[in-house]
Amino acid sequence: MARRASRISRSDDDSDINLTPMLDVVFIMLIFFIVTATFIKQSGIDVIRPEARTAEQKPTVSLLVAIGENGDIWIDKQKVDVTAVRAHIERLHAENPKGGLVIQADRGAKSEKLMAVLSAARAAGLTEVAIATDS
């Protein structure tokens, strides 16, 4: 009779499911997706972009600068003064040196603001600069 009791208790222990390996795999997958994810930074305002026939997609964009219709410059959802644009571009470019700069200028924005942002990007040492358009 003692043998039967030990067999029953042993079979109860064997029927438990060990979830540890499954949780390990889930955490490894989570870490993989977090590390490989590309985080898109928003400029801060909605811009009506001009149309262009020769528009091309840029695969690596790490920095977005938006110029509103009234001439406001937005970087990382913050309104930025023209004199501080270069410092913001340098800081964000240092975080991700492989990415480029995309300027989202509104159709009604003055070209003076666009030229000021382009000059700040050139002074910061960026070579990959593009202007966003609607195709």
In this structure, whether the domain defined by 61-131 belongs to CATH 3.30.9.10 is answered with: no
Among the residue ranges 26-30, 90-94, 115-119, 131-135, the one predicted with the least confidence is 131-135
Q: Pick the residue with more confidence: 38 or 88? A: 88
Mean pLDDT, residues 24-34: 90
- % of the chain beyond a pLDDT of 70: 70
Q: What burial class does residue 130 get, using C-beta atoms within 10 Å of its C-beta: 0-12 exposed, 13-18 middle, 19+ buried? A: middle
Q: Pick the residue with more confidence: 40 or 126? A: 126
Provide the mean pLDDT of the chain.
78
Rounded Cα distance between 69 and 47, Å, is 8
- % of the chain beyond a pLDDT of 90: 6
Give the pLDDT confidence of 43-56 residue by residue, as tens digits.
666 666 666 666 66
The separation between CA 101 and the C-alpha centre of its own chain, rounded to angstroms, equals 12
Q: Give the pLDDT band (50/70/90) at residue 29.
A: very high
Mean pLDDT, residues 34-42: 68
Q: Pick the residue with more confidence: 11 or 89? A: 89
**Do 102 and 131 touch, CB atoms closer than 8 A?**
yes
pLDDT number for residue 28: 93
Q: Give the pLDDT band (50/70/90) at residue 91.
A: confident
